[in-house]
């Protein structure tokens, strides 16, 4: 009977530990985040949806690892706890949690692995999957921040064009600014989960490989992303041109040279198609005719029959907008070898995501401040 009592006690302990682990890891569902961060009428709300899904993924995975760690820790306590098995189970379970999510995650993986290599491979597989998740999260963040930038640009344009008054502009700017700050709060919650997962991966990988964490991470552990600002996009538009008034012109077809600018005037000669003739300007050019020099004589050719050289026309200066940032800086990607351990890619992607979001948030705040200036003048 002692064995049955122990089993029942262990079951109750395990159930309790599951509850404790869920509390400790802060189980926040994507639905909860949607309720917290959804604003009716937000034109950028659709871009938050994949971000909610990313948060759900990283949160659920972390909870799962913590629960497994607690269960294994509790099992160890029941196995080695001596006479006070129930007490030992609680101690063992809590020890698994206080040692960090990495310890629970590693124990769960080790329980299913048949060798060290299989253990490392299993951990690498999880990390690689989450690396893809982080790449997708980065893309979603760029799209959301692009949408916010577009909102600010359109508001500035409407104010400058006089399409909305300043009171309306202030109301719209405040709504956009609030949305930008809520976006950032949402992202920081996700980054907290990404950080927890990163710590677990680094700890578990180091133990599985039996190496020091600093040695395992190498330069990736010291990596600090840098920012660069892309140059303005080059347009394919050609400079404005017009046909020159003088110079060598080409006959588009066989063209008569006439004594006067009239189709009833005498013909002095013929310019064959493709041949050149010199067009001269002396201030007496009729509207539809070119004065030309042909065989030592001056005559006239109808304008549509000749094609002249193109000359560039000075473009008119366009009015400029208030001094405002126009290109969001981008984070450089870490230059890791193709065979670098997945955990190195994780910590560098983790750093890049944070740096890019910090830069984007600062950029959007600065852009909003330039609209404050428009509203103040």
227 and 138 fall within a common domain: yes
Q: Is residue 356 part of a domain?
A: yes
- The pLDDT assigned to 72 comes to 47
121 and 250 fall within a common domain: no
219 and 187 fall within a common domain: yes
Name the pLDDT band for 56 (thresholds 50, 70, 90). confident
Q: Is residue 320 part of a domain?
A: no
User: What percent of the chain is modeled with pLDDT above 70?
Assistant: 69
Over residues 266-290, mean pLDDT: 81
- The pLDDT assigned to 14 comes to 38
Q: Is residue 319 part of a domain?
A: no
Least confident window among 219-233, 246-260, 321-335: 321-335
Q: Is residue 333 part of a domain?
A: no
Residue 26, pLDDT above cutoff 50: no
What's the domain count of the chain? 2
**Structural domain containing residue 254:** 241-312
59 and 175 fall within a common domain: yes
Between helix 101-112 and helix 85-98 the angle, nearest 10°, is 110
Per-residue 3-state assignment (H helix, E strand, C coil) for the chain? CHHHHHHHHHHHHHHHHHHHHHHHHCCCCHHHHHHHHCCCCCCCHHHHHHHHHHHHHHHHHHHHHHHHHHHHHHHHHHHHCCCCHHHHHHHHHHHHHHCCHHHHHHHHHHHHCCCHHHHHHHHHHHHHHHHHHHHHHHHHHHHHHHHHHHHHHHHHHHHHHCCCCHHHHHHHHHHHHHHHHHHHHHHHHHHHHHHHHHHHHHHHHHHHHCCCHHHHHHHHHHCCCCEECCCCCCCCCCCCEEECCCEEEEECCCEEEECCCCCCCCEEEEECCCCEEEEECCCCCCCCEEEEEECCEEEEEEHHHEECCEEECCCCCCCCCCCCCCCCCEECCCCCCCCCCHHHHHHHHHHHHHHHHHHHHHHHHHHHHHHHHHHHC
Q: What mean pLDDT, rounded, does the chain reach?
A: 75
Least confident window among 203-212, 329-338, 368-377: 329-338
Q: Is residue 273 part of a domain?
A: yes
Pick the more confident residue, 303 or 318: 303
Least confident window among 12-16, 32-36, 63-67: 12-16
268 and 353 fall within a common domain: no
223 and 261 fall within a common domain: no
Q: Is residue 151 part of a domain?
A: yes
Q: Is residue 45 part of a domain?
A: yes
224 and 144 fall within a common domain: yes
Over residues 8-13, mean pLDDT: 41
Residue 322, pLDDT above cutoff 80: no
207 and 160 fall within a common domain: yes
Residue 158, pLDDT above cutoff 60: yes
Which of the residue ranges 76-80, 198-202, 223-227, 240-244 has the most confident prediction, judged by mean pLDDT?
198-202
**Residues facing residue 270 across a β-bridge:** 256
263 and 169 fall within a common domain: no
Residue 100, pLDDT above cutoff 70: no
**Sign, CA torsion 57/59/64/65:** positive
Residue 151, pLDDT above cutoff 80: yes
- The pLDDT assigned to 146 comes to 93
Name the pLDDT band for 12 (thresholds 50, 70, 90). very low
143 and 176 fall within a common domain: yes
- The pLDDT assigned to 93 comes to 35
Check if the beta carbon of residue 228 is closer than 8 Å to that of residue 325: no
Residue 319, pLDDT above cutoff 50: no
286 and 365 fall within a common domain: no
What is the spatial distance between Cα 18 and Cα 258, in angstroms, rounded to a whole number? 103
Q: Is residue 326 part of a domain?
A: no
Least confident window among 41-50, 78-87, 111-120, 189-198: 78-87
Q: What is the pLDDT of residues 204-229, one digit of tens each?
A: 898 888 899 999 998 888 888 887 77
Tokens 């070119």 belong to 290
- The domain boundary residue, chosen from 257, 292, 312: 312
Least confident window among 98-107, 139-148, 161-170: 98-107
- The pLDDT assigned to 20 comes to 34
Residue 160, pLDDT above cutoff 60: yes
Check if the beta carbon of residue 263 is closer than 8 Å to that of residue 301: no
- The pLDDT assigned to 325 comes to 52
The domain that contains 288 carries what CATH number?
A: 2.30.30.40
Name the pLDDT band for 276 (thresholds 50, 70, 90). confident
Least confident window among 21-30, 32-41, 222-231, 308-317: 21-30
pTM for this one?
0.61
123 and 180 fall within a common domain: yes
């Amino acid at each position: 009977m002692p064995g049955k009592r122990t089993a029942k006690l262990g079951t109750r302990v395990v159930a309790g530990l599951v509850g404790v682990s869920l509390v400790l890891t802060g189980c926040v569902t994507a639905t909860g985040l949607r309720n917290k961060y959804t604003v009716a009428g937000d034109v950028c709300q659709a871009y938050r949806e994949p971000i909610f899904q990313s948060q759900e993924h990283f949160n659920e995975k972390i909870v799962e690892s913590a629960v497994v760690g607690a269960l294994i820790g509790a099992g160890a306590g029941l196995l080695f706890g001596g006479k006070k098995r129930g007490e030992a189970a609680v101690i063992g379970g809590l020890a698994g949690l206080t040692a960090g999510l990495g310890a629970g995650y590693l124990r769960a993986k080790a329980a299913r692995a048949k060798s060290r290599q299989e253990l490392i491979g299993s951990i690498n597989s999880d990390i690689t999957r989450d690396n893809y998740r982080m790449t997708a999260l980065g893309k979603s963040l760029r799209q959301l921040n692009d949408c916010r930038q577009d909102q600010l640009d359109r508001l500035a344009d409407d104010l400058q064009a006089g399409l909305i008054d300043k009171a309306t502009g202030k109301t719209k700017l405040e709504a956009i600014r609030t949305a930008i700050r809520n976006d950032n709060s949402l992202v920081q919650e996700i980054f907290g989960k990404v950080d927890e997962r990163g710590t677990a991966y680094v700890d578990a990988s180091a133990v599985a490989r039996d190496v020091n964490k600093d040695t395992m991470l190498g330069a990736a552990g010291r990596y600090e992303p840098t920012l660069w600002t892309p140059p303005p996009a080059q347009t394919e538009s050609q400079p404005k041109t017009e046909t020159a008034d003088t110079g060598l012109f080409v006959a588009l077809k066989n063209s008569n040279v006439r004594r006067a600018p009239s189709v009833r005037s005498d013909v002095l000669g013929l310019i064959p198609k493709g041949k050149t003739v010199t067009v001269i300007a002396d201030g007496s050019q009729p509207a539809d005719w070119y004065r030309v020099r042909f065989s030592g004589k001056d005559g006239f050719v109808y304008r549509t029959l000749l094609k002249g050289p193109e000359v560039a026309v000075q473009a008119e200066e366009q009015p400029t907008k208030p001094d405002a940032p126009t290109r969001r800086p981008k984070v450089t990607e870490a230059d890791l070898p193709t065979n670098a351990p997945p955990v190195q890619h994780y910590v560098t992607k983790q750093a890049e995501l944070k740096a890019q979001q910090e830069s984007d948030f600062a950029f959007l705040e600065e852009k909003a401040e330039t609209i404050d200036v428009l509203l103040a003048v």
